[in-house]
Amino acid sequence: MAKRPNKKQKRPLAAGVSRPAGTARRRPRKDVPLSPRTVRRTALLAGLVAPLLILGLLAVATNPDYQAPCTIIAVLVLMAAVIGVMMIRTSGWVLWPAVLLGVLLLALPTAALRAQLISHRGVDTRVVITSAHSGKDKTGKVSWTCGIRREDGRPLPHGTIGGFGCSGSSVGGTTTALADPDGWAPPATLDDDLSFRAAGVWVAGAVAVLWAGLTFGAARRTLRGRGGRGGKGGRSKGAAA
């Protein structure tokens, strides 16, 4: 019984026809290092422009009406800056200090600038406590937040305070609060240690300077490392010649 021809068997080519060459396998693409000009530009954007933009956004966030959008934009700017630092220095320990400084840069300015504004511009104002709400933190400590209005009936922007004098038993009572005449910063109680909180402005400035130093230091190390490798390669070629 005759065997059936194998369908997978390749047919012979006609005379004068060459077999096409097989496709070459693609090699894994290596990461192309940034050019020195790109490294400097990225360091300038991530190390100088980004912290200034974050501080500006969080300064606007001292007004509660703009706090949410400004904080979100500041977080996005920080994420882009961290990615820029990772592009500048792909190896080493620079990532974790950058993340730590970034978190501090987001957490400090708004509360510190609010305290600075209200301590300089705040006016003693008699207010009536209209509502009180309590809450517990992770340690079990109870904190109170109260809604307030002016005793004379005039509108009070951002009428919310917190502190020891604000509790459920004080609803309907009167107290004295520091209020911004322009209504930009929210009111504060007289129990708040505004001088201590306002000192966070200097800490935020120091964090921004450290962030810039970390970024420019990473860029300098990257450029110096490439220059050293290039110099060794140049000397070896010259010696071989």
DSSP 37-50: HHHHHHHHIIIIIH
Number of residues that make up the chain: 241
Tokens of 57: 């956004």
Tell me if 1 is assigned to some domain. Answer: no
Same domain assignment for residues 166 and 205:
no
Tell me if 193 is assigned to some domain. Answer: no
pLDDT of residue 11: 60
Residue 95's contacts (CB-CB under 8 Å, 6 or more residues apart) are: 82, 85, 86
In the beta sheet, which residues pair with residue 144?
Answer: 134
Distance of alpha carbon 5 from alpha carbon 145, whole angstroms:
88
Same domain assignment for residues 167 and 211:
no
Low pLDDT (below 70) residues in the chain: 1-32, 163-165, 167-169, 226-241
Distance of alpha carbon 111 from alpha carbon 179, whole angstroms:
16
Quickly count: other Cβ atoms within 10 Å of residue 111's Cβ: 17
Same domain assignment for residues 101 and 206:
yes
Same domain assignment for residues 172 and 75:
no
pLDDT of residue 51: 96
Same domain assignment for residues 172 and 227:
no
Q: Which residue has the tokens 């322009």?
A: 182
Q: With pLDDT > 90 as the criterion, what percentage of the chain qualifies?
A: 46
pLDDT of residue 20: 58
Task: Please tell me the total count of domains within the chain.
Answer: 2
Same domain assignment for residues 102 and 208:
yes
Distance of alpha carbon 105 from alpha carbon 71, whole angstroms:
11
Tell me if 30 is assigned to some domain. Answer: no
Distance of alpha carbon 89 from alpha carbon 200, whole angstroms:
30
Distance of alpha carbon 59 from alpha carbon 117, whole angstroms:
10
Same domain assignment for residues 45 and 94:
yes
Same domain assignment for residues 107 and 130:
no
pLDDT of residue 109: 94
Same domain assignment for residues 215 and 174:
no
Count of helices and strands (H, E) across the chain = 7, 5
Same domain assignment for residues 148 and 214:
no
Tell me if 10 is assigned to some domain. Answer: no
Tell me if 188 is assigned to some domain. Answer: no
Domain span at 154 = 123-179
Identify the CA nearest to 164 among candidates 145, 138, 137: 145
pLDDT of residue 14: 59
Tell me if 17 is assigned to some domain. Answer: no
Same domain assignment for residues 49 and 77:
yes
DSSP state of 124: E
- Cβ neighbourhood burial of 119 (10 Å; 0-12, 13-18, 19+): middle
Tokens of 147: 């809604």
Residue 191's contacts (CB-CB under 8 Å, 6 or more residues apart) are: 163, 164, 165
pLDDT of residue 231: 41
pLDDT of residue 227: 62
Tell me if 59 is assigned to some domain. Answer: yes
Distance of alpha carbon 36 from alpha carbon 192, whole angstroms:
50
pLDDT of residue 225: 77
List Cα–Cα distances, 107 to 59, 86, 112, in angstroms: 12, 22, 9
Residue 22 identity = G
Same domain assignment for residues 107 and 149:
no
Tell me if 31 is assigned to some domain. Answer: no
Distance of alpha carbon 162 from alpha carbon 171, whole angstroms:
13
pLDDT of residue 13: 56
